[in-house]
Amino acid sequence: MVLPSEARGRVLVTGLSGFTGRHLRSALEAAGYVVCDSEPNGEPTFDLNEPSSIDKLLERMYPDYVCHLAGMGFVPHGDISGFYAINTVGTTNLLQAISQSGLSVRRIVIASSANVYGNATVESIDESTTPAPVNHYACSKLAMEHMARTWFDRLPIIITRPFNYTGIGQASHFVIPKIVDHFARRSTQIELGNLDVIRDFSDVRAVASVYSRLMDAGTVGETYNICSGQGHSLKSIIDSVADISRHSVNVAVNPLLIRESDVKRLIGSNAKLISAIGPLGFVDFGATLRWMYDGRLEELDSTVIRSH
């Protein structure tokens, strides 16, 4: 075990109790960092829209590093104003508080989103691709990026654009956990939207590892894609989980689940990231699906045991 006195520094993770944050905690601690206990009961002790609460958080945690994951991240979410209040204004409040805190923060890693690229026409999207967001979530993230750049002369900021990723612990309203759950339950039918959309899916554990490595790698003031470079259609994912589970599910396309603002194809280039931090060690996505399927089976089995 790494003692605090031996550690590489204290890291404040906003969104620590969320899907990505929980995996990032493990990656940071394995790398020798001390993760600030900013959400001791699984709930934030601060509000990004209340600057005074951020000031108090920084006073309590005195971080050496900040990884800003907190935000509103579900694209179909109906609260349009919430995207901007949390993703854009909330991030502004955080950077303002850090700037005025007097802390010598060594690195601030901010999670934007590959959704800012919209329906890019290039085969593989790199960081030079012009953003063209097609929904309010992506617009709020791009606005956040522009705002963060106004702090580049005062704060050591790196911006990341993670593409889609998944894993154990992701909420069931996201498409991959939904698919895995239906197969694990041996359901006979699942309702989905557009099966032909193609996404660059990664394993959350690999993404968490990248965030951890960016604490002391990469170049301040730069933007990095986080992605595998491999595209998967929902149909191919369904086929993979069917093979893993040895079960078949009838897929019903529900027009209500097809969004006009859906990005059709989103595959990224990770060349810049690899150049900055070295080989990524991303696992085969089939292994991720197997991990999720086995994990969901364990959850369902434990639920049955508790009910008895």
Q: Which residues are catalytic?
A: 137
Nearest to 199 by CA among 111, 82, 293, 117: 117
Distance CA 196, CA 175 (A): 13
Helix or strand (DSSP H, E) at 165: strand 165-166
Rounded Cα gap, residues 15 and 194, in angstroms: 30
Q: How far is CA 208 from the centre of its chain?
A: 8
Alpha-carbon span 36 to 234, nearest angstrom: 37
As a whole number of angstroms, the distance between CA 296 and CA 187 comes to 14
Q: How far apart (Å, rounded) are the C-alpha atoms in residues 291 and 168?
A: 8
CA distance 193 to 186: 20
- Chain CA centroid to CA 136, Å: 17
DSSP code of 156?
-
164-to-94, 161, 268, 276 alpha-carbon distances in Å:
25, 10, 10, 21
Identify the residue whose tokens are 């654009």: 161
The bridge status of strand 65-68 relative to strand 107-111 is parallel
Residue 214's SS3 state is coil
